[in-house]
Structure 1
Amino acid sequence: MVNTKEIKKRINSVKNTKKITKAMEMIAAVKMRKAIQAAVNTRDYSALANNLMDNLSGKKIDHPLARNKSIEEFDNSFENQVKSDKPEFTGKHLLIVITSNRGLCGSYNAKIIKKAYEFISKEKKTEEVFDVLAIGSKAALFAKRNKLNLISLFDSIGDTPTYDELLPVSNLVQEKFLNGTYDKVTLFFTNYISGLSQEVIQRQLLPISRESIIESFEQVGDERTKKDHNKNKFDSIEISEYEYEPNKKRVLNYLLPMLVEVLIYQAVLESSASEHSSRMMAMKNASDSASEMIDNLTLEFNKGRQAAITQEISEIVGGAVALE
């Protein structure tokens, strides 16, 4: 016979779990709205920054961050960066992997880690050495499990990070690249498309090139945003119509490091929106599953209770007949 007390206990347990998942769903929904708003607001700024750099640099970018000039060759006034000769190639590759600090967000972390792992497996044929800069503790765990050198972990960035919060990341990356520690820097993040759809993006951050600027311009956003960007990316005023003061080189010197900062900042915002969206959907699915489980257990409980009552009535009737 069905143990109705045990079923009742399970129903109460599932109800308590549902309360938790429902609360987490509501919290994630609030955070998701803020993160999406921040990401969407920054997309236009990023697009304009990319468009300006495209016009400013022309077909070829002359800058140490493009790895075709030494810092002294480019400009003796290159401030706040390490001064060195044009670095030799070292065969070292830095991966910036953006994940969450917490779980319970569906396949969000698994997808980004899978993308990074596939990239490493493919590129290992070139005998490159890979180091990891982790934004989020799950990325650090990925580095540890795959025995990759973790140069830094940033796990205290807020749910809707500010530009200043990401400056230490950008400064570290640019410093390591300019002093020749790394030949390449590749960024892995998740682009927010909609509440039900996110896309893992792999992007070469450094050395920066006109092609990588255009690619980053096209990658971020939903389909409508991408179409708008593609339509307008060459509609700006020709470079000959601009006058740069004091000169083009100094303007590029100032703006290109800022573009790297913007690209990292935008990637973190997109990832944050994707994380909270994935967590909200995961908790919604968990709440729906809990409701379904409660219904099934309640039905089982009622059937068991009905069977017990029927058996009890049968026993009473049987006893009465026996007494006669």
Structure 2
Amino acid sequence: MAQNPRDIRNRIRGIRNIGQVTGAMDMVASSRLRRAQASAQAARPYAQRIHEILQEVAAACPALEQHPLLQRRPVHKACVVVFTSDKGLCGGYNSNVLNLAEKVAQGLTASETRFVVIGRKGIRHIRSLGLPIDQTFPAPGKEVDIQEISAIAKTLITGYVTHAYDEIHLVFSSFVSAMRTEPTHTLLLPLGTLSEAVEAGEDGGETPAPARKEIDFIFEPSVGKLADYLLPLYIEVLINRALLDSSASEHAARMVAMRNASENADELIKQLSKTYNRVRQASITTEILEVVSGAEAFHK
């Protein structure tokens, strides 16, 4: 099939423009990834101290284990919290999380499973499946906002305490490195025992708290008041970790996708340039032959 040099040249120009866009998006994603990693690093000392306090309080006050957020009960209604992005162009980031969320929901023994979804991509997908969504939240912007964390935590804690949910599960993308992220499922509520809660936090990537000597605590005004403050705060820490990991994973996936797209654009431009040169050379050769043939015919 004959190819027009002008069409090839226009295609090269279009692909070069796309490559410039994907290259710029690669740089933006790289910058945001560094900020997300720095935010996750900065949050670790706070999370670690919460773990230490939970360890100390669990050892000093067994009565705290009776708090409603720690109590297990028969599971009739479950909630799956799904963390996705508002924007696309991030490879398989959203599809991997959503596939895991579907598997988690199908594997639950609850008679009813409902969803709380963060991010427009997840909202659109869950609704397309006809699954019930109780609450939606926007995905974090450039940085994770403490108000977003508090709003999500309040919704989930209220749902659990009022028996709207008997179990709450988190499904998000755990950030390992810029080149590796893993869809992750963890049980948020009930927390079980305090020792189980601390172990779950350590499994989630936090640094284990160092061994401490036994302390004789004096609780003011009461153990119940402490639990009412400390346990919701701990849940916010877990949600914050999921949001930070999700944000970093999204930027990492977008960086890799845009970098691959830029490299593919460069490779395609090279191939089209060779094709353009070959077609142009053939066109010039044809024109020369036509001129020579015309000259010979004229002399005859």
Assess same fold via TM > 0.5. Answer: yes
Alpha-carbon offset, residue 255 of structure 1: 0.6
Matched residue of 2:65: which SS?
coil
2:105 counterpart residue number: 120
Q: 1:174 aligns with which of 131, 134, 157?
A: 157
Asked if 1 retains the 8 angstrom alpha-carbon contact of 2:84 and 2:119, the reply is yes
Structure 1 window deviating more from structure 2 (279-288 vs 126-135): it is: 126-135
1:34 counterpart residue number: 35
1:197 aligns with 2:180: yes
**Residue type of the partner of 1:201?**
T
Q: How does 1:148-163 map onto structure 2 within 5 Å?
A: 148-155=131-138, 157-163=140-146
* Counterparts of 2:245 and 2:80, CA distance in 1: 18
Q: 2:65 aligns with which of 61, 76, 80?
A: 61
* Counterparts of 1:12 and 1:155, CA distance in 2: 37
| RMSD, matched Cα | 2.0
* Counterparts of 2:157 and 2:286, CA distance in 1: 78
Alpha-carbon offset, residue 291 of structure 1: 0.9
* Counterparts of 2:271 and 2:201, CA distance in 1: 49
* Counterparts of 2:98 and 2:197, CA distance in 1: 22
2:217 counterpart residue number: 243
Alpha-carbon offset, residue 89 of structure 1: 4.5
* Counterparts of 1:163 and 1:189, CA distance in 2: 18
Identity of aligned residues (%): 30
Q: How does 1:11-26 map onto structure 2 within 5 Å?
A: 11-26=12-27
Asked if 2 retains the 8 angstrom alpha-carbon contact of 1:90 and 1:181, the reply is no
* Counterparts of 1:214 and 1:277, CA distance in 2: 28
* Counterparts of 1:108 and 1:151, CA distance in 2: 23
Change (3 A) 1:295 1:35: same
Matched residue of 1:97: which SS?
strand
* Counterparts of 2:183 and 2:110, CA distance in 1: 25
CA deviation profile, 1:254-284 (whole Å, cap 9, x unmatched): 2111000111111101100110111111111
How many corresponding residue pairs?
292
Q: How does 1:1-324 map onto structure 2 within 5 Å?
A: 1-58=2-59, 61-67=65-71, 89=74, 91-123=76-108, 126-155=109-138, 157-209=140-192, 210-220=195-205, 229=207, 232-233=208-209, 235-238=210-213, 240-246=214-220, 247-322=222-297, 323-324=299-300
Matched residue of 1:241: which SS?
coil
TM-score normalized by structure 1? 0.84
* Counterparts of 1:110 and 1:51, CA distance in 2: 36
Matched residue of 2:165: which SS?
coil
Asked if 1 retains the 8 angstrom alpha-carbon contact of 2:81 and 2:170, the reply is yes
Structure 1, unmatched stretches of 5+, are 69-87, 221-225
Alpha-carbon offset, residue 127 of structure 1: 4.6
Alpha-carbon offset, residue 90 of structure 1: 6.0
1:72 counterpart residue number: none
Asked if 2 retains the 8 angstrom alpha-carbon contact of 1:190 and 1:200, the reply is yes
Matched residue of 1:198: which SS?
strand
Asked if 1 retains the 8 angstrom alpha-carbon contact of 2:83 and 2:171, the reply is yes
Matched residue of 2:170: which SS?
strand
* Counterparts of 2:168 and 2:90, CA distance in 1: 27
CA deviation profile, 1:288-312 (whole Å, cap 9, x unmatched): 1111111111111011011111122
Asked if 1 retains the 8 angstrom alpha-carbon contact of 2:56 and 2:215, the reply is no
Asked if 2 retains the 8 angstrom alpha-carbon contact of 1:105 and 1:279, the reply is yes
Asked if 1 retains the 8 angstrom alpha-carbon contact of 2:75 and 2:110, the reply is no
Alpha-carbon offset, residue 21 of structure 1: 1.1
* Counterparts of 2:118 and 2:197, CA distance in 1: 22
Matched residue of 1:180: which SS?
coil
* Counterparts of 1:244 and 1:137, CA distance in 2: 47
* Counterparts of 1:128 and 1:55, CA distance in 2: 37
Alpha-carbon offset, residue 191 of structure 1: 1.4
